[in-house]
Structure 1
């Protein structure tokens, strides 16, 4: 069985990826502060900003492939702490790519839809980037520097994701569901558009990307939805009152990090390679029914 190393393995997406991958890979989950807590997955304590430790870990584990998820992923935090964001999101990522080139491991990098300016949406892999936040800027820089270090790196730009919580991290839908069940009003943007996808479908896409060295892939869902429309769908699927989901504009709320209006992704390239997410409604139904990641 081939060996896979996942950074950020204790996070929301990382936990799902390890759960999916362990069926066909010998999975080693690297995490800094938390154990992975999945049967059959080896936990590796790793600070990705410690480049010497990273090099030693890869030379010891000798993975056939590495999927790099570890990041500071909250745009507002990155906006307020740009130096820390650069150290984790850019410098550590670049060093990982270089070490993979040295060891011969395939390297897949989890980038973001926030590399785009949001002026028109449905972005393809060849569209020019134009980040509006520090987080987006650092993802762009990481893409570029990783490919300079290792041209075989596969870059996967990920959408807004939802799914089951891990032992140490939740997705954004858990607090939304809690408020729906209490019939508490929720204000959601009707002028911010994404291509939401479940963590399990994105995990499957990342595993598919291992066999696409040097490619750029978008792993978005099949629909372009506003935050407001997503909230209404979630209310419908949970059987809660849709009226508690109320619309607002990005202009109504002052956020530390600028938010692009429409970073929906055109993922036709990945679909043609076999990436096959369900529509959002069906993904939510499966999730709430307790269907485990496939």
Structure 2
């Protein structure tokens, strides 16, 4: 089923191997016949983290869509999508991302993941490296200094209390409520067990790691180590931002992604 949000992206319900999710697509029109002969820039695909949905990626999606085709995905079990009957692994989510994008005709792209979404991005780049031009990891997990559930919970609590805005906290908290405790906990164990630092060296595409400079979840030492282990890895810290940097610092993040991937940049937008 496909529908259109008012003043927003086209929404498609996508099923891959029995798993149901949603793809939110903002495609730029080809303005003149001559445009058809010019190769289009690769699309940018945004992947959310544990418990949340495309909603906390919306500011970044809107900014990127001014200049390139942009897609956000609600993975199975998150947002308004139905929960799968069994626990999914990181490779399962990666396979869903790749299959869903193939169904909507996106075959080469820049893949951007936030938090646990960074794990999905790494795994997708390992599964089908020929499709992924660049990989961007925002606030990647799980920081080796916080490799336990209590430490992760403490870091998230500190982030929400001191480094997030009311709007970012509302988006995250309301999506956690929609996700539900049972599915969140099932996914949490998967996130904690994924060896991010061991998997990232296998990614062939250039990798950009982005963190809010105040992020207590994805620490500076951890992010520097990931960037150092990645092919062509780079690290960018966005000042005065916490873990949900793609919402609170959307302008800086959008500019970093377009510059890193050599994409056309849209006009800047002031954030409230």
> Does the alignment reach a TM-score above 0.5?
no
TM-score norm. by structure 2 comes to 0.35
| Structure with max Cα Rg | 1
TM-score norm. by structure 1 comes to 0.33
